[in-house]
Structure 1
Amino acid sequence: MSSTPAPMNVAFLGLGVMGYPMARHLAEAGHAVTVYNRTTAKAEQWLAERPAHRLALTPREAAAQADIVFSCVGNDDDLRSVVLGDDGAFAGMKPGALYVDHTTASADVSRELDRIAREKGMNFVDAPVSGGQAGAEKGCLTIMCGGAETSVERMRPVAMAYAQAITRVGEAGAGQLAKMVNQICIAGLVQALSEAIHFGEVAGLDMKQVLDVIGKGAAQSWQMDNRGKTMTDRQFDFGFAVDWMRKDLGLCLAEARRTGVSLPVTALVDQFYADVQALGGNRWDTSSLIARFDHLKR
């Protein structure tokens, strides 16, 4: 882990379930943090807990004095809305400043913003994260970065306030492509785990016991360790929401269509998540794929 960096002026745009604790970790690391959120009440709540810091009413205002501007918003359109335009962050950033985006977005928008940043004499890194809300709360996210090596090294000691690993995987857009690989892997794993648990339950097995046994062998995975038992209990009121996963898988499938890559399992699991949404599980954890089997049995 990098040594503690000198305190910096930073901005954080977007205080959702991920951004709120990430900005908190920056403040706790000693940085002067200016926050912006589309819903001002959320930013006011964050500031009330940390009155030594600042609240801005526009991304441009938040970015004005920042050495590094971080963001974590919903999608491509949300990202453009906080970066571009008269009130966007790019309009307020000083020459040489660095913009680090943690949104899970398309590789195309990352390349677009990187090009615009360079034209303005600034720097951009696309840096999607893995680890979910729990990782953000605990400050142990994994970050995949696309951008210039110098920019990644510049953000590394600061972002380590909420990360356990930061890796540059290529030029602008590469971080988003790596995150797509991550989500493709997760989708297949959760569906396989759902099928396995359903199969075992129908066979009359004690699935918590079985998961303990096979979790010590070749079938072990993070999903099994962290979601297997809650799946058997049908507990889904936590974690990474189905709506977010469908957004992410949509990005994967769009990129696959653009490049001519076949993703048959990913496409199928995406439709299974649509079934979960139809059951009212929009905000359930992604492990709720197993709920489809309960519905199909009726």
Structure 2
Amino acid sequence: MAKVAFIGLGVMGYPMAGHLVKAGHTVTVWNRSADKADKWVAQHKGQKAATPKEAATGAELVMACVGNDDDLRSVTYGDTGLLAGLAKGAIFVDHTTASADVAREIGEKAKANGQGFIDAPVSGGQAGAENGQLTIMCGGDAATYDKVHPVIQAYAKMQNLMGPTGSGQLTKMMNQICIAGLVQGLAEALAFGRASGLDLTKAVEVISKGAAGSWQMDNRHKTMIEGKFDYGFAVDWMRKDLSICLAEARRNGASLPVAALVDQFYAEVQQMGGNRWDTSSLIARLEATKTAKKF
């Protein structure tokens, strides 16, 4: 059992920190909104800290799950940042979906302080976090990963070390590139089936058992058909992730034509007011386009 700090209690971090308590670890949390930290402590009987530094003080492991590169830097650096409280030999595990550059930057800072660092973005959404069934993609050295692996297991169904620092973030970029294409393809198929007069539920029941099957199809087709978009990862966050993917592609020379196109489709969803809709809302854009063509 470990003494752990968890920084960031959003829709992912809140249940992840809870699973650490259930696994028997001693957990101290910090969140930008103190009310949410109070609620978490009341529910899980852990402790709360006034600053990331205070949370990290005395911890063997510090986990963070915040919004973006800037958020990550704000809780990591400075007099009240978590690195200021983290002891030599302790380890920082960052679950934020961020750039590979910031992962390498923090990794170097931690190394200079005698601290360990693993970049470990997650996939599986809010449901995966709540059920302790996340997929975790890790970057760092093997010895450090071996120390954190048993603790991360509290909320993971799959985890692996992908390579040196930054490799976890690069793998998460691959994940988001795949999702962008899958959701757009599913949205187009459902819109096509509806325009053709098919029973969409029956159609998906059949095609989901063949080569077209996917997690997105199994878990999102019903809500997409119903036009309900409150069940997953928000469009704003997906655009943030795709911007990271596209920036990295510009650096490494990879071509991402589909990801770039879908990113623009999500921009149109934002213009429709769908900033907080989940990523399956791409179908709403297609339906709006179809309606507009009638006039």
TM range (shorter): over 0.9
Displacement of 1:232 in angstroms is 1.0
Q: Does 1:46 align with 2:40?
A: yes
Instruction: Tell me which of 194, 197, 210 is aligned to 2:187.
Output: 194
Please, which of 260, 272, 279 is the counterpart of residue 267 of structure 1?
Answer: 260
Show the counterpart of 1:282: 275
Matched, 1:110 2:103: yes
Return the letter of the residue paired with 1:263.
Answer: L
The farther-off stretch of 215-224 and 70-79 is: 215-224
Which range moved further: 102-111 or 277-286?
277-286
Aligned pairs for 1:1-298 (under 5 A) are 7-51=1-45, 53-298=46-291
The residue type paired with residue 37 of structure 1 is N
Mapped partners of 2:154, 2:48: distance in 1: 20
RMSD: 0.7
Q: Percent identity?
A: 63
Measure the CA separation in 2 of the matches of 1:153 and 1:230. Answer: 40
SS in 1 for 2:154: coil
4+ aligned runs moved over 3 Å, structure 1 = none
TM-score, normalised via structure 1 length: 0.96
Shift of 1:297: 2.0
Partners of 1:217 and 1:58 in 2: how far apart?
51
Question: What is aligned with 1:4?
Answer: none
Query: What amino acid is the match of 1:232?
Result: I
Deviation per CA, 1:5-47: give whole Å up to 9, x if none: xx21100000000000000000111111000001111101111
Query: When the two structures are aligned, how many residues end up with a matched partner?
Result: 291
Q: Counterparts of 1:260 and 1:165 in 2: how far apart (Å)?
A: 30
More displaced 10-residue stretch of structure 1: 61-70 or 276-285: 276-285
Q: Any idea what SS the aligned residue of 1:161 has?
A: helix
In 1, Cα distance between equivalents of 2:78 and 2:210 = 53
Aligned with 1:282: secondary structure? coil
- Deviation, structure 1 residue 177: 0.2
Cα distance in 2 for partners of 1:166, 1:184 equals 19
Aligned equivalents of 1:117, 1:260: Cα separation in 2: 29
Counterpart residue type for residue 114 of structure 1: G
